[in-house]
Structure 1
Amino acid sequence: MDLDTSTWEKTAQAKGQAILKAIPLEWRVPQPIPPVDVTGAYIQGFLNAREIEITEADAVAITTQTTSGKWSAVEVTEAFCHRAAIAHQLVNCLHEIFFEDALRVAKELDENFAATGKPTGPLHGLPVSLKDQFHVKGVETTMGYVGWIGTFEGNKDDPRAGVVESELVRELRNLGAVLFCKTSVPLTLMTGETANNIIGYTWNPNNRRLSSGGSSGGEGALLALRGSPAGFGSDIGGSIRIPAAFNGVFGLRPSTGRMPYEGVANSIDGQNTVLSVVGPMATSIGSLKLLFKAVLSQEPWLYDPLALPLPWRDDLEMETQKLIKESSGRGPLLSFGIMRHDGVVQPHPPVKEAMVFVTHILKELGHQMIEWDPQLCKEGQEIAERAYNMDSGEDLLSHISLSGEAQIPQCLVETGKHLNAREVAALNVQKRQYQKKYMDHWNSTSKKTATGRPVDAIVCPTAPHAAVIPGKFRHTGYTSFVNVLDYTSVVTPISRVDKGIHRFEPLPQFLSEVDQMVYDAEIYHGAPVGIQLIGRRLEEEKVLALAEYISKNIADFGGEGYVQPRA
Structure 2
Amino acid sequence: MATSWEIAAKTKREAVLDLIPKEWRIQPPLPPAGELRDVTGSYIQQFLSPREIEITETDTIGIVQRTTTGEWTAVEVTKAFCHRAAIAHQLVNCLHEIFFEAALADAKRLDAYFVEHKRPTGPLHGLPISLKDQFHVKGVETTMGYVGWIGTFEGDKTDPRRFELESELVRELRALGAVLHCKTSVPATLMSGETINNIIEYTWNPKNRHLSCGGSSGGEGALIALRGSAGGFGTDIGGSVRIPAAFNGLYGIRPSAGRIPYLGAANSMDGQISLRSVIGPLASSASGVKLLLKSVLSQHPWLYDPLCVEIPWRSEIEEHTLDLIQKSSSSQGQLAFGIMYDDGFVKPHPPITRALQVVATLLQKLGHKVIEWKPPSHATAAELASTIYGLDGGADASKQFGLSGETMMPQVIIPNPPVPPKNAMEIAAINIAKREYLKLYMDYWNDTAASTGTGRPIDGVIAPVAPHAAVQPMKYFYVGYSAFVNTLDYSSVTIPVTEADKAVDVVDGNYTPINDTDRAVYESYDPEIYHGAPVGLQLMGRRFQEEKMLTLAGYIGDELRRASGSWSPISSQL
TM-score range (shorter-chain normalised) is: over 0.9
Q: Is the 8 A contact 1:336 1:459 kept in 2?
A: yes
Q: Which residue of 1 aligns with 2:490?
A: 487
In structure 2, how many angstroms separate the alpha carbons of the residues matched to 1:473 and 1:548?
29
Partner Cα separation in structure 2 for residue 248 and residue 562 of structure 1: 16
- Distance between the aligned counterparts of 2:439 and 2:371, measured in 1? 21
Q: Does the CA contact (< 8 Å) of 1:167 and 1:304 recur in 2?
A: yes
Q: Which residue of 1 aligns with 2:424?
A: 421
Residue 352 and residue 562 in structure 1: after superposition, are their counterparts in 2 closer, same or farther (change >3 A)?
A: farther
Kindly provide the amino acid, as one letter, of the partner of residue 259 in structure 2.
R
Partner of 1:499: 502
CA distance in 2, matches of 1:413, 1:312: 36
Cα drift, residue 330 of structure 1: 1.8
**Residue 412 of structure 1: how far off its partner (Å):** 2.2
Q: Is the 1:37–1:206 Cα contact (8 Å) retained in structure 2?
A: yes
Alpha-carbon contact 2:110-2:177 (below 8 Å) kept: yes
Counterparts of 1:32 and 1:495, CA distance in 2: 31
Identity of aligned residues (%): 58
Q: 1:507 to 1:563 in 2, by over 3 A?
A: farther
Residue among 451, 456, 464 paired with 1:461: 464
Q: Deviations over 1:136-173 (max 9, x none)?
A: 00000000000000000001121111000000000000
Partner residue in 2 for 1:272: 273
* Structure 1 position 566, deviation (Å): 10
What SS class does the counterpart of residue 211 from structure 1 fall into?
A: coil
Helix, strand or coil at the partner of 1:160:
coil
Letter in 2 for 1:239: S
8 A contact 1:212–1:467 mirrored in 2: yes
Tell me what 1:81 maps to.
Answer: 82
Structure 2, gaps ≥5 residues long: none
TM-superposed CA distance for 1:391, in Å, is 1.1
For 1:514 and 1:332, locate their aligned partners in 2 and report how far apart those are by CA, in whole Å: 42
Contact 1:341 1:374 in 2 (8 A): no
The match for 1:33 is 30
Q: Is the 8 A contact 1:331 1:366 kept in 2?
A: no
**Higher mean C-alpha displacement, 363-372 vs 410-419:** 410-419
The total of aligned residue pairs comes to 564
Q: Residues 71-150 of structure 1: matches in 2 within 5 Å?
A: 71-150=72-151
The secondary structure found in structure 2 opposite 1:529 is strand
Question: What RMSD, in angstroms, separates the aligned Cα atoms of the two structures?
Answer: 1.3
**Aligned equivalent of 2:473:** 470
Which residue in the other structure is 2:220 paired with? Answer: 219
Secondary structure of 1:95 counterpart:
strand
Contact 2:214 2:247 in 1 (8 A): yes
Aligned to 2:555: 549
Residues 380-436 of structure 1, C-alpha deviations (whole Å, 9 max, x = no match): 111100000011111111101100001122222314342110000111111111111
The aligned amino acid for 1:537 is R
CA contact (8 A) 2:324 2:333 kept: no
> Equivalent residue for 1:446?
449
Q: Is the CA contact 1:551–1:562 (under 8 Å) kept in the aligned structure 2?
A: no
What CA distance in whole angstroms lies between the structure 2 residues aligned with 1:503 and 1:352?
11
Give 1:199's aligned amino acid.
I
CA apart distance, 1:560: 7.2
Change (3 A) 1:85 1:395: same
- 3-state SS in 2 of match to 1:128: strand
Partner of 1:373: 374
Cα shift at 1:332: 5.0
Give the alignment's TM-score, normalised by structure 2: 0.97
Pairwise CA distance, 1:501: 1.6
- Does residue 173 (structure 1) correspond to residue 184 (structure 2)? The answer is no
In the alignment, does 2:301 pair up with 1:318? no
- The answer to whether the Cα contact below 8 Å between 1:446 and 1:452 also exists between their aligned partners in 2 is yes
SS at match of 2:209: strand
Deviation at 1:506, TM superposition (A): 2.3
Q: Could you tell me how far 1:565 is from its partner in structure 2?
A: 4.1
Residue 129 of structure 1 aligns to a residue in which SS? strand
Q: Aligned with 2:358: secondary structure?
A: helix
Gaps spanning 5+ residues in structure 1: where? none
Q: Which secondary structure state, in structure 2, belongs to the residue aligned with residue 515 of structure 1?
A: helix
Match of 1:259 in 2: 260
Aligned-pair CA distance for 1:127:
0.3
Q: Deviations over 1:247-302 (max 9, x none)?
A: 11110000011100000100111111100000100111100000000000000000
**Aligned equivalent of 1:15:** 12
Letter in 1 for 2:58: A
Instruction: Give distance in 1, aligned partners of 2:41 and 2:123.
Output: 28
- SS of 2:317's partner is helix
The CA deviation at 1:563 is: 7.8
Structure 1 residues 512 and 153 mapped into 2: Cα distance closer, same or farther (>3 Å)? same
Taking the aligned partners of 2:267 and 2:505, their CA distance within structure 1 comes to: 38
Q: CA deviation at 1:498?
A: 1.2
Q: Mean Cα displacement is larger for which, 328-337 or 289-298? A: 328-337
One-letter identity of the residue aligned with 1:185 = V
Per-residue deviation, residues 504-529 of structure 1 (Å, max 9, x unmatched): 11253223211112110111111100
- In structure 2, the partner of 1:531 is 537
Match of 1:345 in 2: 346
Contact 1:61 1:565 in 2 (8 A): no
In structure 2, the CA distance between the partners of 1:12 and 1:562, relative to structure 1 (3 Å rule), is farther
1:332–1:368 Cα contact (<8 Å) kept: no
Q: Distance in 2 between matches of 1:218 and 1:278?
A: 15
2 CA distance for matches of 1:241 and 1:164? 28
Asked if the contact 2:389–2:414 (Cα under 8 Å) also holds between the matched residues in 1, the reply is no
Aligned residue for 1:209, secondary structure, equals: coil
Deviation of 1:374 (Å): 5.0
Does 2:437 match 1:434? yes
Q: Which amino acid aligns with 2:12?
A: K
Q: TM-score, normalised by structure 1?
A: 0.98
Q: Does the 8 Å CA contact 2:62/2:570 hold for their aligned counterparts?
A: no
Give the partner amino acid of 1:527. Answer: A
What is residue 202 of structure 1 aligned with on the other side? 203
